[in-house]
A and B are shown apart, each in its own frame.
Chain A
Amino acid sequence: MMETDNKQVLSSEELEILQEIMNIAFGKSAADLTDVIDTHVVLNVPFINVMHVAALPDYIRNYVKDYVNISIVEQRFWGRFRGDALLVFSSGSGKELIGMLQHGEGMSLVSDHIEILERETLMEVGNILIGACVGKVAELLKDIVTYTPPVIVLERHYEDAFSENDFAPDQTAIVLKTDFNFSEGNISGFLFLVTSNDSIQWLKDALQIFIEQYE
């Protein structure tokens, strides 16, 4: 895997600040989601990695391979902090989420309708998780972001779900990853925020400004 030395791009302190910001941001996402769904999202320690973009599809595949089939909500965000958010769910999560949003009422829809409902549900949940997380990162770093509409990939084999062509290969990516499980239902997944060269210098400056308020 073509991993770049993290510290060549961001210093140890910058990586730690970014990790803490991601922790705060995903905590906000989980809290926003549990306003809508009666569950508890079990959070894990986020992880930051810096790599060549060409290595990114394999990096992500390596994390999600145990799910075999996955569903993805992808959304681009634009501000001085810009990049791609990829919310990857384990197989079957979409249907589980429909049940949870309908508060356990049984599904009696024909399969076409279930697929539409599954897409809409993943889009809604994705909007909440990605919007709250990216929005909080941006807020803490004094930025404002806008989003493209989410794109849904439904129940696809993990090897076919990401293409090398999805990302500009000559760029360096900062990957912010967090994994999560829901306490109810069999739902788990990963959120990857991928931000590239364009944001790096701004990000370094913004991280410094953020930590200065605590010095």
Chain B
Amino acid sequence: MEDCLTNDMVKKILIVDDSPIARKMLKSCIPKDQGFEFHEACNGSEGVEKYRSVCPDVTFMDLTMPVMTGFEAIEEIIKHDRNALIIVVTADVQLKAIKTVLDSGAYMVLKKPLKKEDLLIALSKAQDTLQQVK
């Protein structure tokens, strides 16, 4: 799976999660040798700010966070950039939660605990989407 992932398009990755462990778990699933540039935020509000300043190619977003939830942050980011590629990584796998974030413009939803294969497939799809857009 790692072979099919090249970083021609996805270079900057933003991870928004209040849990340092969850951010670490996510980063550990991404190949280290492909030059991705990681940015991190610990709540939705900080995530929106970082999105504006960093302009990431892909954003991984948790939903249950203090200060500003992922639900709210997705809406803010999509208002700012309707082509934002936001991959929700969440423990909240209720159908209504998934429908809400997809309706808000999230690209896809991955369930916690994250599986490396799922994350790499998601990144690969994001790559394809970016290539089609550009």
What is the interface of chain A, defined by CB distance below 8 A to chain B?
Answer: 13, 16-17, 19-20, 23-28, 30-31, 34, 40-41, 43-45, 140, 183, 211, 214-215
A45-B64, A214-B29 given; A20·B19 CB < 8 A: yes
The residue of chain A having its C-beta at the shortest distance from the C-beta of B96 within the complex is A40
Within 8 A of A (CB), among B55-111: 63-66, 90-97
Contact A23 B112 (CB under 8 A): yes
Interface residues of B (CB under 8 A from A): 18-22, 24-25, 28-29, 63-66, 90-97, 112-113
Asked if B97 and A23 sit within 8 Å, CB to CB, the answer is: no
Report chain B residues within 8 Å CB of A20.
19, 21-22, 25, 112
14 new A-B contacts, CB < 8 A, other than A20-B21, A34-B94, A211-B21, are A19-B19, A20-B25, A23-B22, A27-B92, A27-B94, A28-B91, A31-B92, A34-B96, A43-B64, A43-B91, A45-B18, A45-B64, A45-B66, A214-B25
Measured between C-beta atoms, what is the minimum distance from B60 to chain A in Å?
14
Residues on A with C-beta less than 8 A from B66 are 45
Q: How far is the CA of A152 from the CA of B90 in the complex (A)?
A: 32
Please judge, given known A-B contacts A27-B92, A214-B24, A214-B29, whether A16 and B19 are in contact too, CB under 8 Å.
Answer: yes
Q: With A and B bound together, what is the CA distance between A90 and B21 in angstroms?
A: 32
Q: Decide: B19 and A140 in contact? CB cutoff 8 A.
A: no
* Closest A residue to B92 using CB positions: A27
Question: Which residues in A have their C-beta under 8 angstroms from that of B93?
Answer: 27-28, 31
Which A-chain residue is minimally distant from B91 (CB atoms)?
A27
B28 touching A215, Cβ below 8 Å: yes
Residue on A with the closest CB to B95?
A34
Q: How far is the CB of B51 from chain A (nearest CB, A)?
A: 21
Inter-subunit contact B28/A40 (CB<8 Å): no
Can you report 11 residue pairs joining A to B where beta carbons are below 8 Å apart?
A23-B22, A23-B112, A25-B91, A27-B91, A27-B92, A31-B94, A34-B95, A34-B96, A45-B64, A45-B66, A214-B25
What residues of chain A lie closer than 8 Å to B97, measured between beta carbons? Answer: 40
Q: Is the CB of B20 within 8 A of A30?
A: no
Q: Does A43 lie within 8 Å of B21, measured CB to CB?
A: no
In the complex, what residue of chain A is closest to B114 when comparing beta carbons?
A: A214
- Hey, which chain A residues are within 8 Å of B92, CB to CB? 27, 30-31, 43
Question: A16 CA to B95 CA in the complex, in Å?
Answer: 27
